[in-house]
């Protein structure tokens, strides 16, 4: 088996992986990126709609344009890239516990081993499928995730069907409602189990309302019908949380797209003994984005699902900067614990640093106008930020300045709690 030695190995060549790798490489360290696809860019390459890069580049780009800019920066750097390579195992070196071994399989390079002092996890996320939500009915062709349909249409040039129904109002599903309409298909409806949309407001307006596509809130697909190919679905409204079968109705369709949520891709992390947070399904990380495994960092959608790639890039640069400090033996400083309070699904990271500014990301569990994000210590509020509107589909960010943290530095073991009221 061929072996390679690096200061840092980044697993995943999407927006997160490229940003983190460039951040480490610019400090003079030897970096490798492992990517299973034929080129860098990740999921960006199939997202041909615009709306990317407003924060990062101060202009509106498509997904491929955003990915290409970072891929060009990687090409111009000294980062080593292993394409068409899949990481099968991440483990500690048997003879050196401070070194990590990344075992890879590749049709290009064969089986090879990467050894590195630091590893950055940037594998992104995956879609939940029919098996995750358990829709009753037959199992015909024509049922797929919205992301797969997006790849078929935008990358491979195939139209998966003509009469479309979409389950879930997540952003991918909303974007595909518009994309399939542009392709000449008829999108009959978007079915959402929650009483509010799962996607951001901009996509509700631009992808559904602008095309007169019906959105059925508080409805479920209660049955799938069809033998060889899906022929129709049964849609049932919810009343007081239960199915109201008397008011069910049918929609004829030949294709059913599922946009029912994203889950961080952490099978590799789990096998490597990295502790995962059940609230967000990503790794527990400290204020440096380091996991419970010393020298292993996580960033981007593998850590928690973002709604803007620009935020992925910023977070990944931070993880890359932390990896540099680790390699320079400068990663130190007192840290305290952070926990989710009322109406907060999760907070990332799960620790804060006393000597630096801290940025936290979180998801609300409620829809509310005139909300407040409150940071508490021992039930005392040390910071409060007003929001005109919050909803679970839109990520919330808050920065706690080191000057604000200094107020609690004298406490023996302070714990931050972030809540929404």
- Which CATH number is 49's domain given? 3.50.50.60
What pLDDT is attached to residue 46? Answer: 95
* Dihedral angle over CA of 119, 67, 177, 148, nearest 10: -50
Banded model confidence at residue 283, pLDDT cuts 50, 70, 90: very high
**77-123 pLDDT per residue, tens:** 999 999 999 999 999 877 777 899 999 999 999 999 999 999 999 99
**What pLDDT is attached to residue 379?**
84
* Cα angle: 91, vertex 304, 366; to 5 degrees: 150
Same domain flag for 99 and 154: no
Mean pLDDT of 171-189: 96
Domain identity same for 195 and 116: no
Q: Calculate what percentage of the chain has a pLDDT beyond 90.
A: 86
Q: Mean pLDDT, to the nearest integer, of 396-414?
A: 90
Asked if pLDDT for residue 219 goes beyond 80, the answer is yes
Instruction: Give how far Cα 280 sits from Cα of 47, 177, 339, 347, 348, Å.
Output: 24, 27, 13, 8, 9
When divided into structural domains, the chain yields a total of: 3
Which pLDDT does position 131 carry in this prediction? 85
User: Could you write out the three-class secondary structure of 2-14?
Assistant: EEEEEEEEEECCC
Domain that holds residue 27: 2-126+263-332
Among residues 298, 332, 366, the one where a domain terminates is 332
Do 218 and 135 share a structural domain? Answer: yes
**pLDDT of res. 187:** 98
Residue 206 sits in the same domain as residue 321? no
- Mean pLDDT calculated for residue range 216-229: 96
CB 233 within 8 A of CB 250: yes
Same domain for 270 and 256? no
Residues 249 and 316 in one domain: no
Q: What is the pLDDT of residue 333?
A: 83
Residue ending a domain, among 228, 260, 292, is 260
Residue 376 sits in a domain whose CATH number is: 2.60.40
Predicted confidence (pLDDT) at residue 200 exceeds the cutoff of 90: no
Residues 165 and 282 in one domain: no
Q: Give the integer Cα–Cα distance in Å for 122 and 79.
A: 15
The last residue of a domain, from among 280, 309, 332: 332
pLDDT on residue 92: 86
User: How many angstroms separate the CA atoms of 111 and 108, rounded?
Assistant: 9
> Chain-wide mean pLDDT for the chain?
94
Do residues 419 and 376 lie in contact, with contact meaning Cβ atoms separated by under 8 Å?
Answer: yes
Q: Say how far apart CA 185 and CA 179 lie, in whole Å.
A: 9
Supply φ then ψ for residue 282, to 5 degrees.
-105, 175
Q: Which residues pair with 220 in a beta bridge?
A: 236
Q: Across residues 173-193, what is the average pLDDT?
A: 96
Supply the pLDDT for residue 246. Answer: 95
């Amino acid at each position: 088996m061929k072996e390679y030695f690096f200061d840092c190995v980044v697993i995943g060549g999407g927006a997160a992986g490229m940003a983190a790798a460039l951040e480490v490489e610019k400090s003079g360290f030897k970096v490798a990126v492992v990517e299973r696809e034929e080129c860098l860019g990740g999921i960006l390459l199939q997202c041909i709609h615009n709306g990317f890069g407003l924060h990062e580049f101060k202009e509106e780009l498509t997904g491929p344009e955003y990915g290409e800019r970072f891929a060009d920066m990687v090409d111009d750097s000294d980062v080593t890239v292993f394409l068409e390579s899949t990481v099968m195992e991440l483990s500690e070196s048997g003879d050196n516990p401070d070194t990590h071994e990344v075992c890879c399989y590749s049709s290009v390079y064969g089986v090879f081993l990467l050894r590195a002092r630091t590893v950055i996890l940037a594998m992104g996320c995956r879609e939940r499928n029919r098996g995750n939500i358990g829709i009753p009915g037959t199992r015909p062709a024509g049922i797929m995730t919205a992301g797969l349909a997006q790849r078929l249409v935008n990358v491979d040039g195939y139209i998966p069907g003509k009469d479309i129904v979409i389950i879930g109002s997540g952003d991918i599903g909303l974007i595909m409602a518009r994309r399939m309409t542009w392709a000449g298909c008829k999108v009959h409806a978007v079915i959402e189990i929650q009483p509010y949309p799962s996607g951001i407001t901009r996509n509700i307006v631009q992808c559904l309302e602008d095309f007169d596509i019906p959105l059925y809130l508080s409805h479920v697909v209660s049955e799938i019908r069809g033998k060889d190919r899906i022929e129709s679905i049964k849609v049932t409204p919810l009343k007081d949380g239960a199915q109201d079968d008397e008011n069910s109705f049918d929609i004829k369709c030949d294709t059913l797209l599922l946009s029912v949520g994203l889950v961080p891709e952490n099978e590799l992390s789990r096998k490597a003994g990295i502790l995962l947070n059940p609230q967000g399904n990503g790794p527990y990380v400290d204020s440096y984005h380091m996991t419970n495994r010393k020298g292993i960092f996580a960033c981007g959608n593998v850590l928690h699902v973002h709604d803007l790639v620009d935020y992925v890039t910023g977070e990944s640069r931070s993880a890359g900067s932390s990896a540099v400090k680790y390699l320079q033996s400068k990663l130190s400083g007192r840290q305290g614990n952070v926990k989710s309070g009322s109406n907060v699904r999760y907070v990332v990271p799960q620790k804060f640093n006393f000597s630096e500014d801290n940025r936290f990301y979180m998801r609300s569990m409620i829809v509310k106008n005139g909300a407040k994000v409150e940071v508490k210590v021992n039930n005392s509020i040390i910071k409060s930020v007003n929001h005109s509107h919050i909803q679970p589909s839109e990520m919330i960010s808050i920065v706690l300045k080191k000057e604000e943290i200094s107020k609690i530095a004298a406490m023996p073991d302070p714990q931050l709690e972030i809540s929404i009221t």
